[in-house]
Each structure stands twice: as C-alpha cells, then as structure tokens.
Amino acid sequence: MSNEENVKPEETIQPQPSEANNESAVDQIKGTVGTMLSSFLSLKETNPKVFFGAIAGVAILLVLMMSTGGNGSKPALSGPKLMNLAIGQRYSLKSANAYDPAATVRLVSTPGAIAAYDDTEEADRSGACQHIPQGTQVSVLEFADAFGKQNAYAKVRVEDGDCKGNEAWALAIDIQ
C-alpha cells in the first residue's frame, strides 16, 4: 500500500444547531439515568438483600459524613474578656453579648439589679440614662463583687453625651 492509498478523503462535517445537540444530550442522559434506575429497582425483585444493603450503606455513609462535622478543625471560641479595670481610668462602654452596633448598655442604680430587671415595657427602655449607647466614655469609680466573682460590677460616671456626669452601676464585662 502506498501513502496515497492510506490517506482518507476529508470528510465535511456540517455544524448542527446547538439546540439539537442539547436536546440529544439531555435525551441520552435521561435514557442512561432511566436505565440505571430501572436496573437498580429490579434488584429489589431479584436480590432484595443487595438492594436494601446498598440503601443502608448509603445511609450510614451520610450519617458518618454529617457527624464528623467537616474538616475537623474547630475555630477557637472567642468570648468577652474581663479587663483589669482601674479606678479613675477612662473606658468606653461595649456590650459584651451584642453584635448589633445600635445595642445599648444597661446602667442601674445598685449592683446586682441588672439580673432582676425586666425592661420589656417601652417606658422602662426610655427612662433617663438607663440605656447608654455603646462607645460612650465612662470613668470607673468603684467595684462590687457578685456571684463569687471579684469586681463583677463597676460604678461608672458617664463622661460624654446627654447623661454626662451621671453615676450608675454597669457590668464590668461591658466596660472595655
């Protein structure tokens, strides 16, 4: 055979419309999935042990994947930190348990009153100098122990804003 005999004549391929290609691909996929599904369901009739064993195996794998919790490294919890506050120093108020920048810090007349206070009424929330915006500058005047913790409450004097000069008690953890 010569090289000329081995060379095939060029075939001209006419492009088909893209919709026809997409429809035929979708039909092929549907046919393949249908065939696989029917063969899997036929296992239920011919060999039920294999059928239900496969379902149980998939269920066990899913439960294991969900219970492992992903990549295994868990982020360290970062909570509010109690600072070593000093009497006479200036600090700012920051609510330790709120992510909302518009949240306020509760000031009360006696230490420990925060735990027993319910401010669900609007009148309680709009009282004079009871809810101070975060970031307000305060000076620490004294401390009070509570619940077995030293310096759990701090008496503060508000240094700016509408309540300037007012003295009240706040949770020490809300003073940063």
pLDDT in tens, 109-168: 888 776 555 555 555 555 678 888 889 999 999 998 888 888 888 999 999 988 899 999
For residue 10, how many C-alpha atoms fall within 13 Å in the half-sphere facing its CB? 3
> 68, 101, 129 — which closes off a domain?
68
103 and 160 share one domain? yes
Token digits of residue 168:
């009240």
Say what angle helices 48-68 and 18-46 make with each other, to 10 degrees: 110
Residue 96, pLDDT above cutoff 60: yes
Q: Are residues 166 and 105 in the same domain?
A: yes
User: How many domains does the chain contain in total?
Assistant: 2
pLDDT of res. 20: 56
pLDDT of 174 strictly over 60: yes
The answer, yes or no, to whether residue 8 has pLDDT greater than 70, is no
Domain that holds residue 147: 90-174
pTM of the predicted protein model:
0.51
C-alpha–C-alpha distance, residues 131 and 148, integer Å? 26
Q: What is the pLDDT of residues 45-90, one digit of tens each?
A: 898 898 899 899 999 999 988 887 656 565 665 656 667 888 999 9
- Largest Cα–Cα distance in the chain? 108
